[in-house]
Chains A and B, each alone.
Chain A
Amino acid sequence: MNNLCQFKRGFFTLRMCNRPASKQCAACNKLSCQYHLSAQAQMQLCVDCAQKQNQGRTSNYQDDDWVYSYRSWYYTSGYQPYRFGNQDYSSFENHDNTSEDWDDNYAGDFNDS
């Protein structure tokens, strides 16, 4: 058994977290890194199980796991994240910075408010 976190990392796109696992979630038994353990649940539950226990309420900005409760909430608004495996990133290692010559002039009208 490899000791890597079994949770997904990302927001707009999801990929396997693969950080070293530090604990098992007391509810779902999945291996979790420190980032995917809920501080609100005293690091005993993973962020998903803590979120379920919390009945889907978004936690406070100050909580370390805020981003995961926010992510769950955001997905309920209709956004569907893309899912990728780690192998998909290899083609991007040598991406160039062609955006340096990005021309801002064609931007839309800024007076739309």
Chain B
Amino acid sequence: MKAIFTINSLLPKEKNLLKVKQIQAEMPPEQWINLFTKLRDFDKQADTSRWIGGGMGCVGLLLAIIGIPLISVLVGILMIPIGLILLAVGIYVYATLKPYDIQGDVLTTRVLPLLKILREEMKTNENLKLRLDLRGFEFPEKLLSQSEDYGDNSFFSGARYKSIIDYYYRDHWMDGDATLADGTRLIWSAYDLVKHIKKVKHRKGKRKSKSKYRTYISMQVGMNRKRYMLPPSLKLKGQEGAVRTQKSGDYNWMLVKKTVKYPAGQSFQPNDFVNTIASAYIRATPVGGRK
């Protein structure tokens, strides 16, 4: 229940960010980390509180229902108001915190690890530009297409599911721009292509869903020509994705575009982001030689 009280300790801009779940801003990595650590801690608290609130609501409803036939005895008279109070408190806690919920562990497993790596690599006061969309994929504007229902409607056919529909979403969740301490410029973009399968069982109409993720990462790594040399006119495709190099002004640019497929239930890992940047560094030769 702590989250109900800590919600007041959040700044208006933090509350707003939790509500809209989208941000586009420019600040040093340390400030990004402080902001998202605070929001992650709140989100964890809120998850627990909503769970307790939901439980209280259920217990309250149950008490009230059981109390009705027992209304003639004292126990019943007590059970109904207690049940209704628990139900009301549970609904209040759940409904108050629900708009501030960030789906899943996206801050812990995606955003904060990336920020911690960038904090290491960037100068302390250098700004990091980020655009993040933490709403998740299930939004009408992110829906690309959906399949026909290919379930078997005939109850006697023996098929398990009467309805199966595949939905395809494109969730463009991150763009960023950073200058690293060695002068290297990073400009990146990441989006998930999600296949979300919704199934309805014949028996009891039970619903099931599962999601399969692919993450597309596009990374431009600009290495200062005074510092690094890159292989000229490189163009290759392989495990690392599509890699190309080009000279432009004071920079040697490497563009890496890759797709990472994940098994069902898994999604973006910070390692994929790190590997994409490393693709450029392993091909770079420091002008002064390696130290």
Contact B181 A102 (CB under 8 A): no
CB distance from B211 to the nearest CB of A (A): 17
A97: chain B residues at CB < 8 Å are: 185
Nearest residue, chain B, Cβ from A102: B220
* Other-chain contact of B120, A10, A82, A104, A109 (Cβ < 8 Å): A10
Contact B218 A11 (CB under 8 A): no
Alpha-carbon gap, A89 to B120, bound state (A): 15
Contact A98 B218 (CB under 8 A): no
Alpha-carbon gap, A12 to B274, bound state (A): 9
Contact A67 B113 (CB under 8 A): yes
* Other-chain contact of A67, B117, B243, B244 (Cβ < 8 Å): B117
Asked if B165 CB lies within 8 Å of chain A CBs, one says: no
Contact B243 A98 (CB under 8 A): no
**Chain A, range 86-112, C-beta contacts under 8 Å to B:** 88-89, 91-92, 95-99, 101-102, 104, 106-110, 112
Contact A108 B282 (CB under 8 A): no
A101: chain B residues at CB < 8 Å are: 248
Contact B250 A102 (CB under 8 A): no
Alpha-carbon gap, A41 to B124, bound state (A): 25
Nearest residue, chain B, Cβ from A83: B291
Contact A107 B218 (CB under 8 A): yes
Asked if B265 CB lies within 8 Å of chain A CBs, one says: no
B271: chain A residues at CB < 8 Å are: 74
B218: chain A residues at CB < 8 Å are: 107
Nearest residue, chain A, Cβ from B218: A107
Number of residue pairs spanning A and B whose beta carbons lie under 8 angstroms apart: 122
Contact B116 A108 (CB under 8 A): no
Contact B113 A89 (CB under 8 A): no
Chain A: interface residue count, which band?
35 or more
B290: chain A residues at CB < 8 Å are: 82
* Other-chain contact of B109, A19, A61, A67, A106 (Cβ < 8 Å): A61
Binding site for B on A (CB under 8 A): 9-13, 15, 19, 61-62, 66-67, 70-71, 74, 79, 82-84, 88-89, 91-92, 95-99, 101-102, 104, 106-110, 112-113
Binding site for A on B (CB under 8 A): 108-109, 112-113, 116-117, 119-121, 124, 179-183, 185, 187, 214, 216, 218, 220, 222, 224, 226-227, 235, 237, 241-244, 246, 248-251, 253, 255, 257, 259, 261, 270-271, 274, 277-278, 281-282, 286, 288, 290-291
Known: A88-B288, A89-B183, A92-B182. 11 other contacts (CB 8 A): A11-B117, A12-B278, A13-B180, A61-B109, A67-B116, A95-B179, A98-B249, A99-B187, A99-B253, A107-B255, A108-B237
Identify 24 residue pairs between A and B in the complex whose beta-carbon atoms are under 8 Å apart, listed by A's number.
Answer: A10-B181, A12-B278, A13-B121, A13-B180, A61-B108, A61-B270, A70-B113, A71-B120, A82-B281, A84-B182, A89-B182, A91-B226, A92-B224, A97-B185, A98-B248, A99-B253, A102-B222, A106-B255, A107-B218, A108-B241, A108-B243, A112-B242, A112-B259, A113-B261
